[in-house]
Structure 1
Amino acid sequence: MTGAPTVVFLAADGTGGPRSASVAATVTAVLVLGWRLRARRHVPHAVLGALLATACAAVALWTGQARGFFLLPMAFPAAATAACLLSLAADRPLAGLVANRVVGGPPEWRSHRVLHRFYAVSTVGIALVSSASLAAQVALYRWSDVAWLGLLHVFMGPLWAAVTALSLLLARRTVTGERDAAGAGGLTR
């Protein structure tokens, strides 16, 4: 459902240009929001999705180009890459700041060599995926390849869900492995 406004935008752009595509994407975003509100499913995500799709449509209208629809979403991998790199430079890997709490890791994870290294490597991996996504989007934007931009945009949601799930699974496994290795005395340092 989250990719519906993008798919509708692409289809409408092919037949009526960026103006009709922007209107169609906005209407689709509002319909998806209404459906999710009625079903009480993922309401915060639905609101954010509708706002983002509407903002993307507004940018496409403002630029007068269909590729403008994808300008705002390019900010997300740019911000993720920057956040990961800054967190590594501060010796506070972003993956640890987020995932450790979710998986029930120790509050002092930074002082545990294995956990700190795992979270640093995870943060580097997230930064690489983010920067690769950004590079692909920038290249497709410069080539004005709206169809491939749309396809990439639609598939990035499931890709990020998979990266997040894998990161959390591996983090939980690492925390559990450290607890098991240390026995009742706590995690090794």
Structure 2
Amino acid sequence: MTSTPVETALARVGGIRGLVYSALPVTTFAVVSAASGRIPATAAAVGVAAVILVWQLVRRESTRPALWGFAGVALCAGVALVTGQAKDFYLPGIWMYLGLGLLFTASILVGRPVVGVFWAWVTGRDSTWRGVARVRLAFTAATAVMAAVSWVRFVVQYYLYDTDQDGLLAAARIAMGWPLMAITLPAVLLAVRYAVRALPVQTLSSTAAGDQPVFGE
């Protein structure tokens, strides 16, 4: 059975299980930090990330998300240890949200919405989708939703970071993970489904068959 574009994209980040794994070290740090302080929390977060990495390797799951996840947690932990402030564990993530917000917004302004570009890359299609106004609009709307979510995450969490509200910052990082993802994912799904239905049949069939695209750049 051929995988859908969404299934392919999820597979690249480790699937739903991979998304859950990515939240566990952050949650661990937040809980342990509140109870025992920065150093035990840092050790616990890295320990959980290491256990997840080993577990995925043992199960022979996709190693790329596992390695990136561990590297991300290690980076956050390293920043917190170097600066001596527990709240700095969240700083790389805050700047990541800023970067994503800028990326999504810029992609819309230049007429290459990230959701559409990523969809084309995952499915092996060319850029002819940009020539179909309805499809471009759908991908632009989905990218705008992701941009808005990224900006909200950055603004809220940076404010809490800047005002030294560590407890609320930890809560915000957790609360703004899965709940906001539940908003963005349906938008992306709708855009992809609309694109598949709206694109010319010739483009879909020729690309899926591995032939040269019917429509040029």
TM-score category by the smaller chain? 0.7 to 0.9
Task: Tell me, yes or no, if the aligned pair for 1:94 and 1:123 is still in contact at 8 Å.
Answer: yes
Query: Is 1:113 aligned to 2:161, yes or no?
Result: no
**Which residue identity lines up with residue 111 of structure 1 in the other structure?**
G
**Which residue identity lines up with residue 64 of structure 2 in the other structure?**
P
* Number of the residue aligned with 1:70: 90
Could you tell me which runs of 5 or more consecutive residues in structure 2 were left unpaired when the two chains were aligned.
1-20, 205-217
C-alpha distance in 2 between matches for 1:75 and 1:37 = 29
Task: Tell me, yes or no, if the aligned pair for 1:56 and 1:70 is still in contact at 8 Å.
Answer: yes
C-alpha distance in 2 between matches for 1:176 and 1:25 = 41
C-alpha distance in 1 between matches for 2:186 and 2:95 = 23
- Deviates further, 121-130 or 138-147: 138-147
Query: Is 1:135 aligned to 2:151, yes or no?
Result: no
Could you tell me which runs of 5 or more consecutive residues in structure 1 were left unpaired when the two chains were aligned.
none
Task: Tell me, yes or no, if the aligned pair for 2:146 and 2:184 is still in contact at 8 Å.
Answer: no
**Which residue identity lines up with residue 122 of structure 1 in the other structure?**
A
Task: Tell me, yes or no, if the aligned pair for 1:5 and 1:29 is still in contact at 8 Å.
Answer: yes
**Which residue identity lines up with residue 89 of structure 1 in the other structure?**
L
Q: Which secondary structure state, in structure 2, belongs to the residue aligned with residue 71 of structure 1?
A: helix
**Which residue identity lines up with residue 138 of structure 1 in the other structure?**
Y
Return the TM-score normalized by structure 1: 0.83
C-alpha distance in 1 between matches for 2:71 and 2:162 = 25
- Deviates further, 51-60 or 82-91: 82-91
State the Cα deviation string for residues 125-167 of structure 1 (Å, max 9, x = none).
2111110111111111123233332233334443465455324
* Number of the residue aligned with 1:152: 172
Q: Which secondary structure state, in structure 1, belongs to the residue aligned with residue 112 of structure 2?
A: coil
Return the TM-score normalized by structure 2: 0.73
Give the direction of change, closer, same or farther, for the CA distance of 1:12–1:45 in structure 2 (3 Å limit). Answer: same
C-alpha distance in 1 between matches for 2:27 and 2:117 = 34
* Number of the residue aligned with 1:173: 193
The number of equivalent residue pairs is 184
C-alpha distance in 2 between matches for 1:35 and 1:24 = 16
C-alpha distance in 2 between matches for 1:65 and 1:87 = 35
